[in-house]
A = this chain, B = another copy of it.
Amino acid sequence: MSNEVVYNRIPMLRAERGISRKDLAAALGVHYQTVGYLERGEYSPSLFLALKIAEYFEVPVEVIFSLHPFARLGS
């Protein structure tokens, strides 16, 4: 049932903060490869991890994750 797509903006938020995957992973308490998998969309995080990510970036979950594609910012 979680074979469905969940879009995410982790790369954008991480770029805004200027931190590496490794640092983000450390802050979240997960393996740095896990962040890579999430950013590349190979799978979506557990709810627990999603809530941790939202807490870390201090934004609502919906700002980072969505069932529908995010609008592109550029061109």
Mark interface residues in A38-64 (1 if CB within 8 Å of B CB, else 0): 000000111111111011000011100
Asked if B1 contacts A47 (CB within 8 A), the reply is no
Q: For this complex, into which size category does the number of interface residues on chain A fall?
A: 20 to 34
> What residues of chain A have their CB less than 8 Å away from a CB belonging to chain B?
1-2, 4, 6, 29-30, 34, 44-52, 54-55, 60-62, 65-67
19 other A-B residue contacts (CB within 8 Å) besides A51-B62, A51-B65: A1-B30, A1-B48, A2-B46, A2-B48, A4-B48, A6-B47, A44-B46, A44-B47, A46-B46, A47-B49, A47-B50, A48-B67, A50-B50, A50-B61, A51-B67, A52-B67, A54-B62, A60-B60, A60-B61
